Amino acid sequence: MVTATVSRELRDRLGEALFTRVAGPEGPQARDRIHLTPGPRWFDEGSAIRRVHGDASMFVGGLRALLLQSLHPQAMAAVAAHSGYRGDPWGRLARTSTFLATTTFGTADDAAQAVAVVRAVHDRIRGVTAEGLPYAASDPHLVRWVHVAEAHSFLAAHQRYGAEPLDAAGCDEYVEQTAVVGRALGAAELPTTLAGLVEQLRDYRPELRGTPEARDAARFMLVDPPLPWPARPPYGVLAAAAVALMPRWARQPLRLPYLPRAEATIVRAGGHLATRTIRWALPPARG
């Protein structure tokens, strides 16, 4: 009985610490609003997008998405100049996680409002890269790149570390459902199948490279994250799992290692342990 009580207390404390770090101090209120407000939703309970976005594998997929997205020079320039990821990384994470939760689980009205807020921010973000390339965050081509990198990363992480990986039809359903959000954000010609997603990722490759800003962001995320020292080892396990999921062609531009034997054994085992621990600590997404 005492052991069970201690276990529950440990789980609750770990879950609260994780949730506060990811969702921010207003996270509990946002969670209740997202999941408990009555009304129609964009996606049904049990749908592929809810299964993926509600799973602990998103901790790995989110890191992988950020690394992959950084390879587009114009997208990375916009992030470096306007996102404040260095000055307020946890605030940016909280905003991103709240957006994903709202569009996936929230009411249709709240999801539409969240999209409108993001589009309004994107409309104000424009500039020129160090190489003289103009960029605008509202550019449908850049919005599509961010979408493709996210969808590919979230799904890859779920298929490796998710509690219940999707079958082939479920993967296509996930890609089709994420396209609903991507189109609402202003992306055009989005894929609706996994094969189409892989093809679009391949089509972007000629535009991708490891700029100094991209490598700096990778170092910030992987080598010097803004975390207290006790939290760095478990974070390092998640980061290693994210790097191991990166396509081989995407690693050299960011100076990421490729260690196939270690990735297939130690890193994969660590990734499963980390995601199972997060899943144990955090209650599943409601509704």
- Mean pLDDT estimate for the chain: 93
pLDDT digits (tens, 9 = 90+) for 1-34: 546 665 778 787 887 878 887 888 888 899 999 9
Q: What is the pLDDT of residue 236?
A: 96
Instruction: Enter the pTM of the model.
Output: 0.94
8 Å CB contact between 205 and 249:
yes
Cβ neighbours for 169, distance < 8 A, ≥ 6 positions apart: none
pLDDT of residue 213: 96
Average pLDDT over residues 182-196: 97
Take residue 246 and report the two structure tokens written for it: 């990166």
